[in-house]
Every structure is written in structure tokens, then in C-alpha cells.
Amino acid sequence: MRFILTAFMLSVATQTWADETFSSNFLAFECGDAPNTFPLLLKENGEGWSTVAVFQKESEKLERADARTFAFPSVDFKQRYLKLKENNWQLISIDTGDVEVQPCTEKNELFGLLAAAMVQEFSTEDYAASAGKISGLRADLLEVQIQNAGQQAALSELTARYDGLRATSTATIAELQDEARLLQTKINAQVTRLESLNAESSRYQNALLEATRAIAELRAKLAKTREAAAQARAALEQDAGEEEDTKAEPSD
């Protein structure tokens, strides 16, 4: 009983919506000469006027040339206009110079009939089928919510693990950075010491070269001194020999 009441209220609401929708911003025409007439339905929205695709292959966007003229899109150089002339609507087609004029009569009551037909389509069985589909969708939604809750819990756990790992990694990185700075300080000290040793080694090498040259000069002087001493000794021995020979000679 409750469902039937709901269906009735929905039917009334649908009827009201259809009446309001099809009674504003819509125009209906029956164009052509009997018995070859055809419907032409127009609607207006925020983007302007267009045809209703219910009776055409696809909707066509219209241009409002003036207050009495609608212009259809040009197709293969063929132009069509819906024009109000002397309180009569006419559908004018222009194709390579040929002009065809078809009368159009306003039939806005077609929208009321269409609205009633739409309401009749929503029978009790349709409402029951829709209710079943809604129940199924609710069950699917509940399952998705349960899965989402599980995923949220897993995400929270992963977030906590990530935060823990990030904190640990941050501490480890800080320790490694401190150790790297200490090692760099030691390396700088060793480089300074090496530069000092290189400078000192250069001084030692220069002093060694000076000492080597001095020793060479002293050796050269010593050799000269020895040579001079040998010559002096030889001269002295020669003088001594001559003196002895002089003493050994008999006197007259």
C-alpha cells in the first residue's frame, strides 16, 4: 500500500514536471501540405534554440536571425529558414537558386500529449523494477563502502608504517650526515698536514742539496790541500836529500 501511494505521488510529480517543462521554452509545428505533413519541434536553453532530436536524426542548433526568423545550419549549400510572415509560419528551403516554401502550423498541444505519454510509460511494474534495481544498487554501494573501509584501514596502516620508516630514515640520515661532516673534517686535517709535510720535505730537499754541494766543495778543497801537502812533502824531502848529500861530500 505504501509503495502504491509512493508510485501515485511520483506519477503526479512527473505529470507536473512534464507539463511545466513542455509548456515553456518549446515550440511545436506541423509543417508541409496534407497528407505529407511532418512535425518540427524546437527548444530553447542557455545556448539558444535548437531542434528536438526525437523526430530528427540529430539535434540542430539554430540561429535567431531576428524575432521572426530561425536559421538552420547550412548543409551542402542548402539553406533553410523558419519565418513568421503575416502571422503565419513558413519553412523556406533555398537550394542552388530553387526556393521551396512549406506552411507550418503551431501545434504546441503536441508537447502536452508527449508529456502524458511519458507519464503513462511509468507503470507500477516499472516502479517495482526500479525499486529492485535501487535495492541492488544499495547492496552494491554497501559492499563498496565495506571494501572502502578495509582499504582505508590498510591505507592508515601503510601511512603509519611510512611515518615510522620516515622518522627512522630521517634519524639515520642525520647520523650519516654528522659522520660525513666528521670524516670531512679529518680529511681536511690530513690534507693540511700533507701540505705541511710536502713543504717541509721541500725544505729538507733544498737543505740536502746545499749540504751535498758544500760537501763536494769541501772534498775538492781537501783534494787540493792533500795535493799541496804532497807537493810540499816532496819538496821538503828533496831539500833534505840535497842537504845530506852536501854534508856527505869531503871538504878540501
pLDDT score for 199: 85
Give me the residues paired with residue 30 across strands: 39, 105
Name residues whose C-beta falls within 8 Å of residue 108's C-beta, 6 or more positions apart in sequence.
23, 26, 27, 28
Give residue 208's pLDDT. 84
What is the largest distance, in Å, between two alpha-carbon atoms of the chain?
196
3 state DSSP class of 53? coil
Helix %, strand %, coil % of the chain (to 5): 65, 20, 15
Three-state SS at 202: helix
What residue ranges do the domains of the chain occupy? 2-122
**Cα four-point dihedral sign 220, 225, 231, 237:** negative
Tell me, what's the pLDDT at 209? 87
Residues with Cβ < 8 Å from 38, sequence gap 6 or more?
30, 31, 32, 55
pLDDT of residue 23: 46
- Specify whether the CB–CB gap between 75 and 61 falls below 8 A: no
Per-residue model confidence (pLDDT) at position 13: 40
Q: Quick one: pLDDT at residue 72?
A: 93
Q: Comparing C-alpha atoms, which of 113, 115, 111, 127 is closest to residue 16?
A: 115
> Per-residue confidence of the chain (252 residues) as pLDDT tens digits?
333 333 333 343 444 434 444 445 788 999 999 888 888 888 888 889 998 866 556 788 999 888 899 999 988 889 999 999 999 999 999 998 899 999 999 987 766 666 555 555 545 555 566 677 777 888 888 888 888 888 888 888 888 888 888 888 888 888 889 888 988 998 898 988 888 888 888 888 888 888 888 888 888 888 888 888 888 888 888 877 777 777 666 655
What is the predicted pLDDT for the residue at 103? Answer: 96
Is-contact 108 43, C-beta < 8 A?
no
pLDDT of 114:
60
Q: Give φ, ψ of 25 to 5 degrees.
A: 60, 30
Is 12 in contact with 116 (CB distance < 8 Å)? no
Of 131, 139, 121, 42, the closest CA to residue 81 belongs to: 42
Kindly report the backbone phi and psi dihedral angles of residue 120, in degrees, each rounded to the nearest multiple of 5, phi listed first: -65, -25
